[in-house]
Structure 1
């Protein structure tokens, strides 16, 4: 697995893996870490625990997720799935419950990201919007209506 990082990571990979909580994990494969790292931090308001050219650990509303650069996945079975694919997020909504969609929409617009659907109250009891992030991943921040 070729790595571009030139510094020592903040934690050994096996220690980070053991530290992850039970539940569902998300790992977004991206051509480059920087654009998605900036989107997560500047649009979603996430905390970047660690980031380098190969990998980033991100926390948002108590959840942890990861970003991996394509080159770091060269010997992973997923490398064949992503090869040549630009629209990585096709068919996937990354729903973020408890994140103000109006604020996210405003930041996304300010920074030139594509707003697929602006903030609306939906019949299923949530106010939500759809924002297209780097590599065409679609993020859906939402809050309960009247909650």
Structure 2
């Protein structure tokens, strides 16, 4: 499937398993942030929608106005954080590189990169829409021993 030319109907019918859809104020800005900070690949970016690819996984960004008749939109807070209590993990991202890129892309490093006892080096970054994105990678043997 060509993600640049697939019709909405064909794309929707192709989705399987677990899906992730993020409501945002500005789709092109959020797509640019995710591409810059985490290396996601944006497809079909418009003011309404984008498909984001990350290590073989797809997620969708939808603009608030595309949910005009959906009851969920009434539950979205006017100001961030929108995703309070949820963390979106990107397990194949370099946390140090993501943290270094976050501020310049309009994000905020909520938790600096650190080696965690659960076997990951991890950082937590808030995007301008208030979602918490955790970039992580497995610890090396030396990092694991140092904990």
Tell me the TM-score normalized by structure 1.
0.86
User: Which of 44, 49, 59 is residue 53 of structure 2 equivalent to?
Assistant: 59
Match of 2:72 in 1: 78
User: Which of 9, 14, 17 is residue 19 of structure 1 equivalent to?
Assistant: 14
Cα distance in 1 for partners of 2:103, 2:61 equals 23
Structure 2: gaps of 5 or more residues: 142-147
Whether the aligned pair in 1 keeps the contact of 2:51 and 2:61 (CA below 8 Å) is yes
Whether the aligned pair in 1 keeps the contact of 2:23 and 2:64 (CA below 8 Å) is yes
How much is the aligned-residue C-alpha RMSD, in angstroms?
1.7
Distance 1:141 1:83, change over 3 A: closer
Q: C-alpha displacement at 1:128, in angstroms?
A: 0.3
After TM superposition, the structure 1 stretch with the greater mean CA deviation from structure 2, 117-126 or 31-40, is 31-40
Cα distance in 1 for partners of 2:102, 2:80 equals 20
Is residue 2:129 matched to residue 1:135? yes
Whether the aligned pair in 2 keeps the contact of 1:35 and 1:134 (CA below 8 Å) is no
Structure 1: gaps of 5 or more residues: 1-8
Cα distance in 2 for partners of 1:143, 1:85 equals 31
Mapping for residues 1-147 of structure 1, pairs under 5 Å: 10-20=5-15, 22-82=16-76, 84-146=78-140
Tell me the TM-score normalized by structure 2.
0.86
Cα distance in 1 for partners of 2:57, 2:110 equals 24
